[in-house]
Structure 1
Amino acid sequence: MTQSISVPNRGSVRATFIAAYSAVTLAQITNALPGALNGTFAVEFRTSGAGLTWIAGMFMMGIVVFELSWGLLGDLFGRKKLLYAGAVVSVAGSVLAALAVNTEMMIAAQAVGGIGAGILFPISLSMIAAITPDHRARARVIATWAGFLSLGAVISPMLAGLTSQAFTVAGPVAGAPNIFSGWRVAYYIAAAIAVAVLVIAIKAKDSAAAEGRKLDLPGQATLALGLIAVLFATVQAVDAGFGSAEVIASYVLGAALLVAFVVIEARTKQPLIHLSLFRNSAYSITGVVAVTGMFAFLAVCFSTSVAVGGLALAEAWKVGVLFVFIQGPAFAFIPVVGWLIHHAAPRWVLTAGFAFMAASAFWLSSFSLGTPEAFGGTPWTAFIPPLLLLGIGFALTVGSITAVAINTVPPQHIGMASATTNLLRDLGFALGPVIGSAIAFGIGASVFAGPLAGILGGVGLPAEAVAGLSNVPPLGFLSGWDGVIAQFTGQAAAGGAPAQAVDGMAKALGSAQQQIQGVAGTSLGQGFQAVYLAAGIAATLSAILTLFISARSSAPTLDAIAETTEANAEAAVQA
């Protein structure tokens, strides 16, 4: 285990704890904000399916691709410096998000914010671990740190909903956003918290542990670029289709880079990931369920945000309330989960948690989606019971995964086992909205094509106009109707159609707006039903797989948990 070295007589222990707890709360607030606002983004930015997926997934990508390196950089150059860097980057990401007026700006803001949070998660934990030498005391400190992280997950949706409701002010020009109102205020508040973290951290203690540490640049580069290429391909497939040249090329490139990563890790002396861990079948199973189980969780979160906020057009505060039921149990049940992990085999806690998540997803898949409540759609309050089940399942699984992992490997490997499990878990988080979008928007477009052609033909549009509009995805008709009309009339005029004929076709299309949007909503609703079903299947498989983990995965000791977290604090993100 690498020993941390603190700078003597400089900085305050109390300031260090306050800065660390504030930093992890901030990181989780910015992490969870898009989940409660996806529906709002779909309507305000008139984004495509791929654009909405990038907004949801880009933040997690910023965390995942560099997760194993930030803590190491803190060890090498000083953790306090990295905390400063994370706070500054978080300020930039939050302000950029608040100022975003289109999808592209929000995606860029999410990328910056994800990097900031990716720094703050591990660095905040390693700073307090370094100043708490007693193992049992360190375990209590870690539990408190996890509590503040869960608190951030509860604050975030409430903040999104309340600011959307209380600070909505029209822009100076009709149709233009007011960059100082609504949900944007939530991001300004996040930026203010980041500034406060910077101020508090001035008096915090610094620490480092550079001895014997070395950055695996080839491994980091191939892992980051490989994951980015694969995720890019999956997101682009939402709009372009899996058969498009750019999607296929990106998958091939990503696969080649990930193979190169495996080769590099097998040969380097100080790898990011010890591949020998996966020779242990019990650990391999834990790694698989870390991905599939957390995919199920975030796929349900993403689907709920879009289905309730984007398709059912519920106000942002209602979506925020739903997310409190999702995230709240992870905070409220900290003492319960801690007791269970220490008094029962964690694999049984894990199995029970995945079973709750599966029940939630299957329940939600039976809901009628895609129609606003005012027109007979599912009431938003009906989502509360199944989402509470999801939240309970998440509370039981998110910490238990690491607890199981460290008890399936020899003691000398528990640090790397913890770090690798955290990476796989966060990869599952990133895949939730990405794969969920590919399923929902792909199925939605397939279901929508036939009824759309019938509606357009029924209002008298010529065959070539019907063919052109059939390429517009259902989300485009819902969130960007004016853009559809402009695109249609522009293409018709460019094709040589007389102005009178173009106006007539535009009026015919406008007369079918309500019918088209109704079909678009229900088509996408079927797509998100399929996502819920896929999440339920993934959670069920995860619950079954955990039953095959060796019985030696018994309750870990406080010392083992503390040793694990200190050894690889850079990746111990309990998100």
Structure 2
Amino acid sequence: MSGRIPGGPAVIPDVVEKTPSRLSAGTLIAGCVAVFLAQTGLVLPAAVNGVIQQTLHLSGSQLTWVSDAFLVPIAMFSLTFGVFGDRYGRKKMLVIGSLLMLAGYLVSAAGGPVQQLWTGQALCGIGAAALFPSSLAIIIASTPRPADRAKGLAAWTTALSGGALVAPPLAGGAVEFGSFYWAFGAVAVLAAASALLTVLLTTDSSAPEGRSLDWPGQITIAGALLALLFGVIEGPGRGWGSTVVVTAFVLAAALLAAFIVVENRTERPMLRLDLFRIPAFAGAAVVAVVGMFGFLGGAYALSIRLGVIAHQTPLQAAVPFLVIQGVTPFVWPLLVRLLRRVGPRIMLVAGLLAIAAGWVWLDALPVASSTLLAMLPALLLLGFGFGLLVSAITAAAVNVVPIELAGMASGTTSVVRDLGQTLGPALIGSIALSQSASMLAPELATLPLPDAAQHAVDAVFAAGGPLAVATAPLGQASTVVGPIARQALEHGYGIGFQVSAAACVFAAIVAAVFIRKGQTVETR
């Protein structure tokens, strides 16, 4: 089979998809449980950011790395695991990914310093990098009929939302009755169950022809993403003009250029760059990065607002996220119909604008009056928008490539989506904390405190920034500096909401312009 890409090379080399003719119930269940596990792990730290920060006394950068130690490996290795799945079987990748997450969560649940938590999170992120593209590819490869594929994509999206739905109450309950470490132990049990279900239920699929390990491509893209994300995360703490941060950005640019050269010259690339000549595919990639940045960035700002600024318990802070993620399962039948009848373009535009409206709504609510009832309309908008966004991004990318390139397309979709998810907390956290620090610094310089207390406050601010000042035990000084620090944080994370909303509006414009209903790849 060969395919013609509009605006690209005339012929795609022959590729044979080794897959069953229809999607089995077992494969669907195992694929959905796998993405449920991966998304649960992705959301889990955000649900207990406040408790982690207070328990381990972390700076803003250290707290950001708790989430990003999970997210960075996903962005780095999703393409790699997409290749492995195509060559050696997606079932194997689901088992390996689940076992890696099991090992990572056992490390995280064991307690210890923040470095151990980072290590466990990184292992889990590598596992999730296998689960996201492989779970999607194994479902897509088994659904050549559009009607079946719409159902499979909607089920996958619902499972993904279900993972995000479960994570907040799981984390909150663990803190309420024990420690946040217990939540990591609970997800370890889920990882073991995912591996077992995959072994017992999944019908394997692969597409090895035309795919190679392409080590130069894998090394250059992984290095480029690691350098880029390291620079973004460390920029606020070390300074954007520091030697380390500038070197990271230069290295990222050089490695990205090397990756493009390698992929254009190799006979069997891990990523066919000519796919980006398809307007819908390229548009979906941009929308995935910017749109998921907007959604996850705003979600990170909301988690800090609830857990750190408003001092809500983990269970209280979990409820708004339950509302957001609880919408998708209820609209699953609607997602199926929309995918079949209106296509991804309208879904993306509507979903992104709904998310933008939700963040603007929440930004307009002062922290003191942000009750669940007051937030409910915004939370429902966010949940509906997220369901549309995730299902439509996937459909926009994979529906315009031949079925035999489903693994590559789904891997690419995972990379760009997860890059946006990683950049969201990193950049929004950086923007919010820098704005908070700019507002807080002159206030701290004029406090009516005794010299000893002033020196203590200044030391905490220098070491940990506004988050540390808002939560550190500073004795009598806390009654003075606490409200000021929380006001500065409210200002900073309010700007984070605004930036997240603007990103979603931009992504909606890209979707409206570049993603058209009916754009497909002709096969012959």
Matched residue SS, 1:533: helix
The answer for the alignment partner of 1:298 in structure 2 is 296
Following TM superposition, by how much is the alpha carbon of 1:275 offset from its aligned partner in structure 2, in angstroms?
2.5
Question: 1:215: Cα distance to partner?
Answer: 1.2
Shift in Å at residue 124 of structure 1?
A: 3.3
Which amino acid in the other structure matches residue 336 of structure 1?
A: L
Tell me if structure 2 keeps the 8 A contact 1:406–1:418: yes
Give the equivalent residue in structure 2 for 1:219: 217
Q: Does 1:152 align with 2:163?
A: yes
Q: Which consecutive residues of structure 2, in runs of 5 or more, have no partner in the other structure?
A: 2-14
Distance 1:194 1:410, change over 3 A: closer
Q: How does 1:43-442 map to 2 (within 5 A)?
A: 43-127=54-138, 136-137=147-148, 139-165=150-176, 167=177, 181-204=178-201, 205-281=203-279, 283-369=281-367, 376=368, 378-379=370-371, 381-405=373-397, 416=408, 419-442=411-434
Two-structure CA RMSD over aligned residues (Å) = 3.1
Contact 2:212/2:269, CA 8 A, preserved across alignment: no
Tell me the alpha carbon deviations over residues 293-327 of structure 1, each in whole angstroms, 9 at most, x when there is no partner: 11110011101111101221101111211111221
The answer (yes or no) to whether the contact 2:144–2:403 under 8 Å persists in 1 is: no
| Residue 502 of structure 2: aligned partner | 537
**Residue number in structure 2 paired with 1:27:** 38
Aligned 8 A contact 1:97 1:184 in 2: yes
How far apart are the structure 2 equivalents of 1:465 and 1:163? 33
Select which of 529, 554, 572 maps to 2:517. 554
Distance 2:92 2:397 in 1: 31
Distance in 2 between the 1:132 and 1:475 partners?
A: 48
Rg bigger for which structure?
1
Q: 1:276 to 1:15 in 2, by over 3 A?
A: closer
Q: Distance in 1 between matches of 2:505 and 2:19?
A: 46
Write the letter of the residue equivalent to 1:520: A
Shift of residue 359, structure 1, vs aligned partner: 0.9
In structure 1, the gaps of 5 or more residues are: 8-12, 168-180, 370-375, 483-509, 564-575
Preserved CA contact (<8 Å) 1:354 1:542: yes
- Distance (whole Å) between structure 2 residues aligned to residue 129 and residue 230 of structure 1: 31
Matched to 2:159, the amino acid is: F
Deviation larger for 112-121 or 270-279: 270-279
Of 435, 445, 448, 1:443 maps to: 435
Per the TM alignment, residue 147 of structure 1 is displaced from its structure 2 partner at its CA by 2.8
CA contact 1:436–1:531 (8 Å) conserved in 2: yes
Moved more, 521-530 or 241-250: 241-250
| TM-score (norm. length: structure 1) | 0.80
The residue that corresponds to 1:471 in the other structure is 462
Q: Which moved more, 1:154-163 or 1:41-50?
A: 154-163
User: Residues 452 and 470 of structure 1 are in contact (CA less than 8 Å); yes or no, is this contact kept in structure 2?
Assistant: no
* TM-aligned CA distance change 1:377 to 1:476, over 3 Å: farther
Deviation at 1:405, TM superposition (A): 3.9
Query: How far is the alpha carbon of 1:223 from its aligned partner?
Result: 0.9
Deviation at 1:49, TM superposition (A): 0.7
Shift of 1:285: 3.5
Output one character per residue of 1:172-224: Cα deviation in whole Å (capped at 9) or x when no partner: xxxxxxxxx23333222211122223333443444444333211211111111
Report the alpha carbon displacement of residue 110 of structure 1 after superposing the two structures with TM.
1.3
Q: Write out per-residue CA displacement over residues 498-555 of structure 1, whole angstroms, 9 at most, x where no aligned residue.
A: xxxxxxxxxxxx43221112211111111101100101111122222333226xx215
- In the alignment, the residues of structure 2 paired with residue 358 and residue 73 of structure 1 have an alpha-carbon distance, to the nearest angstrom, of 37
Cα displacement (A) at 1:418: 5.2
What is the deviation of 1:441? 0.9
Contact 2:79 2:408 in 1 (8 A): no
Contact 1:357 1:536 (C-alpha < 8 Å) held by counterparts:
yes
Compared CA separation, residues 138 and 404, structure 1 to 2 (3 A): closer
1:367 and 1:529 in contact (8 A); partners too? no
Paired amino acid for 1:225: G
Query: Are the counterparts in 1 of residues 86 and 407 from structure 2 also a CA contact under 8 Å?
Result: no
Identity of aligned residues (%): 37
Q: Quote the offset at 1:477 in angstroms.
A: 1.8
Answer yes or no: is the 8 Å Cα contact 1:318–1:380 preserved in 2. Answer: no
Q: Can you list the C-alpha shifts for 1:76-107, whole angstroms capped at 9, x where unaligned?
A: 23333333321211111122222234332222
| 3-state SS in 2 of match to 1:239 | helix
1:512 aligned onto 2:477: yes
Contact 1:453 1:466 in 2 (8 A): no
TM-superposed deviation, 1:442 = 0.8
Letter in 1 for 2:268: Q
Q: 1:450 to 1:124 in 2, by over 3 A?
A: same
CA distance in 1, matches of 2:61, 2:76: 20
Contact 2:157 2:391 in 1 (8 A): no
TM-score if structure 2 supplies the norm length? 0.87
**2: CA distance between counterparts of 1:347 and 1:132?**
21
Deviation for aligned residue 1:367:
2.9
Preserved CA contact (<8 Å) 1:233 1:251: yes
Secondary structure of the 1:471 match is helix
Q: Distance in 1 between matches of 2:460 and 2:48?
A: 28
